[in-house]
């Protein structure tokens, strides 16, 4: 049972009443974004990765595995590179080696909740999986005409449960610096 407080308002969720927000001194709702709310609830995570030397012959690969339970992962991506290249997202990838584990960070540093999704970089891919989306960043060129860029998925994507995803960055030229940021929140649905 939710304890109702005078300065809060509630909405009916799929299973119970949930706090929807707080009221200001005049009794009007204080509105914040859903992402901001998830940060306050300790349910918003981030993984950042930087590689200072990616070559054409050995693209950078990150993989992540969604949990096999009722949690649903709502995710955004942002990739940037010092030179031109392509970021591509694949579903149902398989690996022969996970690579290095990347520990997710809870954006509410006071929360003890841990992310359920597992992240790896420099995975050894057996099958890259099914292409879902991609973005070309930067402009190819030589010297000062070679310009980096960034690309993002600006709306969230809800991932399938118990699935391995791969993101591959393939540069146009060697010695490209690349970074990627994965931001997500996890929602536990009572029904599948």
Residue 73 and residue 86: Cα distance in Å, rounded?
Answer: 24
Beta bridge partners of 101: 120
**Cβ contacts of residue 136 below 8 Å, gap of 6+?**
84, 85, 86, 151
Share of the chain above pLDDT 70, in %: 73
* Counted domains in the chain: 2
Range of the structural domain that residue 21 is part of = 1-31
Co-location of 53 and 8 in the same domain: no
Which of the listed ranges 28-37, 39-48, 102-111, 182-191 does the model predict with the highest average pLDDT? 102-111
Whether residues 122 and 181 fall in one domain: yes
pTM score of the predicted model: 0.78
At residue 67, the 3 state secondary structure works out as: coil
101 and 141 in a single domain? The answer is yes
C-alpha–C-alpha distance, residues 166 and 61, integer Å = 7
Let me know whether 26 and 75 are in one domain: no
Residue 105 lies in a domain: yes
Q: What is residue 131's three-state secondary structure?
A: strand
Tens digits of residue pLDDT in 11-21: 666 666 666 66
142 occurs within a structural domain? yes
3 and 86 together in one domain = no
């Amino acid at each position: 049972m939710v304890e109702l407080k005078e300065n809060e308002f509630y909405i009916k969720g799929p299973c119970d009443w949930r706090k929807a927000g707080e009221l200001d001194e005049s009794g009007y709702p204080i509105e914040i974004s859903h992402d901001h709310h998830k940060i306050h609830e300790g349910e918003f995570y981030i993984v950042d990765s930087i590689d200072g030397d990616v070559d054409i012959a050995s693209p950078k690969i990150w993989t992540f595995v969604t949990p096999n339970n009722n949690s649903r992962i709502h995710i955004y991506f942002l990739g940037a590179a010092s030179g031109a290249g392509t970021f591509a997202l694949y579903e149902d990838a398989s690996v022969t080696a996970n690579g290095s584990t990347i520990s997710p960070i809870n954006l509410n540093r006071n929360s003890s909740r841990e992310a359920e999704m597992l992240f790896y970089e420099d995975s050894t891919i057996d099958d890259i999986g099914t292409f879902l989306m991609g973005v070309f960043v930067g402009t190819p060129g030589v010297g000062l005409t070679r310009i980096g860029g960034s690309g993002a998925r600006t709306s969230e994507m809800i991932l399938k449960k118990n699935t391995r995803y791969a993101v591959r960055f393939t540069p146009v030229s060697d010695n490209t610096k690349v970074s990627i940021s994965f931001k997500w929140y996890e929602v536990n649905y009572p029904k599948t």
